[in-house]
Chain A
């Protein structure tokens, strides 16, 4: 009701003002299908899924047109932070030493930590099912701390990062208890 009463006002007196509320839909970074729904008060919706389009969202019925982003809009998109990174590093059995194969990944993460202002790093450690639960909780925590220390070595305040050990919970490869499994001896690192 309210909307309908507002509409004529928008159309006549506030053409410029009302016409400046827009939704610009862009292609997603990874090519995945995306959409934004314009929801109305009665529970209805208008789904916008056409990329490179502009939709009026001034209160009336949304209308969508093909659209090329303006330089200012391009600039805004370019100033979005880089996508977060997620990597898994693997350890030698019963130790906090990385496997040789994981060393380049650690170097890559260090470079990312260096190049991202306002960085946030989250490290979660895990073990395989060999050994007691308590020992594995401790080992997974030490693995996470060790990697965190390596990242903090890039001059980042350790307080801005978190390390958590989850022992043999969340196995990457399901095994029975007491089984050596290289794929489960790992830390998962997120750098935002």
Chain B
């Protein structure tokens, strides 16, 4: 019996990547832009669904706009590298946690339900700082 349960659990774990939940969608993509998903490179186009852990990368003429399922909105500027490190959202309760890392470049943000759901439920990390988002519109810039 225990063996069966363990096999079942292993199956659930193994099948998770394919079932990874949508956390948001690309709305617009300009110039050189891509999503890094593990070892994969996913092309950006309107409607492409994002997953927790995706990394958004743009070249010198690139820009990506996206909206998350909690209504948070991003615009990634040129020459940027932005990791959607962790995203958890309960659509029914409208609560969750969201951590983004701006490793390079610029990111414009309008926060959504997650930022409202708890103090510093939304965080933005840069190589030199950690920001707690208390609900607003802002830009983070990280130089080379």
Whether B110 sits at the interface, judged by CB under 8 Å, is yes
Judge whether B138 and A45 touch: CB under 8 Å. Answer: no
Q: A21-B141, A32-B135, A59-B129 are in contact. Are A77 and B108 (CB under 8 A)?
A: yes
> Would A79 and B75 count as touching, CB distance under 8 A?
yes
Chain B residues, CB < 8 A from A26: 136-139
Residues on the B chain within 8 Å of A27, using CB: 137
Docked Cα-Cα span, A180 to B47, in Å, equals 40
Q: Which of B25, B30, B144 contacts A192 (CB 8 A)?
A: B25
- In the complex, are the beta carbons of A81 and B73 less than 8 A apart? yes
Which of A37, A58, A80 touches B108 (beta carbons < 8 Å)? A80
- B101-144 interface (Cβ within 8 A of A): 106, 108, 110-111, 120, 123, 126-144
A17 partner residues in chain B, CB cutoff 8 A: 143-144
Nearest residue, chain B, Cβ from A22? B141
A57 touches B126 (CB 8 A): yes
Complex Cα gap A29–B112 (Å): 12
Q: How many residues of chain A get a CB closer than 8 Å to chain B's CBs?
A: 46
Q: Are A80 and B144 in contact (CB under 8 A)?
A: no
Q: How far is the CA of A81 from the CA of B69 in the complex (A)?
A: 13
Check A81 against B139 for contact (C-beta < 8 Å): no
Interface contact A77-B67, CB-CB below 8 Å: no
Is residue A147 within 8 Å, beta carbon to beta carbon, of the partner chain? no
3 smallest A-B Cβ distances: which pairs? Answer: A34-B136, A20-B143, A118-B46
Residue numbers in B under 8 Å from A84 (CB-CB) = 67, 71
* Chain A contacts for B28, CB-based, 8 A: 79, 81, 117-118
Closest to A157 in B: B47
**Residues of A at under 8 Å CB distance from B?**
16-29, 32, 34-40, 45, 47, 57-59, 62, 69, 72-73, 76-77, 79-81, 83-84, 116-120, 157, 160, 192
Q: Mark B47-75, 1 if CB is under 8 A from A, else 0.
A: 11000000000000001011101010111
Return the chain B residue nearest A84 by Cβ. B71
Determine whether B86 belongs to the interface, using a CB cutoff of 8 Å to chain A. no
Whether B75 and A80, one on each chain, are in contact in the complex, defined by CB atoms closer than 8 angstroms, is: yes
Complex CA gap A19/B142 in Å reads: 9
Also in contact, A118 and B47, with CB within 8 A (given A25-B136, A35-B136, A81-B67):
yes
Q: A24-B141, A84-B67 are in contact. List 13 more A-B contacts (CB 8 A).
A: A18-B128, A26-B137, A27-B137, A28-B135, A28-B136, A39-B123, A57-B129, A58-B129, A72-B77, A79-B65, A80-B65, A83-B71, A119-B47
A-B pairs with beta carbons under 8 Å apart, 25 shown: A16-B143, A17-B144, A18-B128, A19-B143, A21-B126, A21-B128, A21-B129, A26-B136, A26-B138, A26-B139, A28-B137, A36-B136, A37-B131, A38-B131, A76-B77, A76-B106, A77-B75, A79-B65, A79-B75, A80-B74, A81-B73, A84-B67, A117-B28, A192-B25, A192-B71
* Chain B neighbourhood of A62, CB < 8 A: 129
Other-chain contact of B48, A47, A83, A118 (Cβ < 8 Å): A118
Smallest CB-CB separation from A37: which chain B residue?
B132
Q: Is the CB of B120 within 8 A of A39?
A: yes
